[in-house]
Amino acid sequence: MMRLQDAYYVANAYDANRNRIIENREIKFTTASRQLSDSNRDGYITVDEFAYSLMRGDVYVATNRTVYPNVYQFPSFPTTPMFPQFPYQPYFPTTSNIHPIGGLVTGAAVGGAIGALIKGIAGLKTGAIIGGALGLVGGLVA
């Protein structure tokens, strides 16, 4: 969510003719975003209504000057906005990119190096086994 002051700044920026009504030639609304933004259902989206819907996070404005509904409220929409823009941050996937085998190899290498530093060549094997097991578990859990 954004501050109301910032939402008014964005809404006023799209009101090109300064009549306090966001018209179709100024910005394009999808059907769902128009329903979310037009709070009094009079068919006109005022700067106030648009600013409040931006502040609440109901809609976002894409780089192609189109207003889309927030994807978290509508599960049938794509999970990532096509053009994320202010006030939303760039999309970061929530899944980890660590592969279990990569964790095993990395863990074995780091564990072996630490074991070799502590006990010399004799600790290399033990450190590699412990590090590899931890790397494998970390790769499966992440």
**Phi/psi at 63 (5° precision):** -70, -15
* 142 residues of the chain, pLDDT tens digit each: 678 888 899 899 999 999 999 998 999 999 889 988 998 889 999 999 999 999 888 898 988 889 988 865 545 544 444 444 445 444 444 455 556 666 667 777 777 788 777 777 777 778 778 877 777 676 666 5
Instruction: List, in order of start, the domains of the chain with CATH numbers.
Output: 4-69 (1.10.238), 100-141 (no CATH)
For 49, residues 6+ apart whose C-beta sits below 8 A from its C-beta are 37, 38, 39, 40
Question: How many helices and strands, by DSSP H and E, does the chain display?
Answer: 5, 5
Between CA 12 and CA 26 the distance in angstroms is 11
The pTM of the full predicted model, rounded to 2 decimals, is 0.51
